Homo-oligomer: A and B are copies of this chain.
Amino acid sequence: MLIRLATKRDSDPIWTIIGPTIRAGETYALDRDLSRADALAYWMGDDRETFVAEEDGLILGTYYIRANQAGGGRHVCNCGYMTHAAASGKGVARRMHEHSLAHAGASGFRAMQFNFVISSNERAVCLWKRLGFQVVGTLPEAFLHPSKGYVDALVMFRSL
């Protein structure tokens, strides 16, 4: 699996990954009806670096990394990861995460923060915990899940 910087030519495969996740509205606090253009502008914005995980010419996943805050908060990064539904369970998220940790360290970031991990997304919460993240905050009923109703969101953090 090759993890490399995304280019404009990756827009189509990236949209096939992030589109269904955004439309489902279960794991990211993004408007479910976000247009393709707005979704790609968000995921591949100028304020972040966007990577893709590629295997045999297929894009299996994508992630971004950015400074989580400006000014005095610029030394903590934030990432978002999404895996193609058809590639779920193959360790793509884990591989992207390992890549992001190494890239964050090389970029001079001192810590990584996830601002809004939906507590019902147990798979993600378990993965981040296994990979050294701690829940440093719980936002009570901060996310309206389309089928589960109001659920907590977690703030997760790890030093690099």
* Contact between A70 and B29, CB atoms less than 8 A apart: yes
Query: A75 an interface residue at 8 Å Cβ cutoff?
Result: yes
Query: A138 an interface residue at 8 Å Cβ cutoff?
Result: yes
* Contact between B136 and A73, CB atoms less than 8 A apart: no
Q: Is the interface of A mostly helix, strand, loop or mixed?
A: strand
Q: Which one of A115, A142, A145 has the greatest number of beta carbons of chain B within 10 Å?
A: A142
Q: Mark A3-29, 1 if CB is under 8 A from B, else 0.
A: 000000000000000000010010011
Chain B hits for A75, CB < 8 A: 144
Query: A45 an interface residue at 8 Å Cβ cutoff?
Result: no
Chain B hits for A141, CB < 8 A: 110-111
Q: Mark A129-158, 1 if CB is under 8 A from B, else 0.
A: 000000011111111111000000101010
Report the bound CA distance from A111 to B69 in whole Å: 22
Closest B residue to A76 using CB positions: B142
Measured between C-beta atoms, what is the minimum distance from A149 to chain B in Å?
Answer: 10
Chain B hits for A140, CB < 8 A: 111, 136, 157, 159
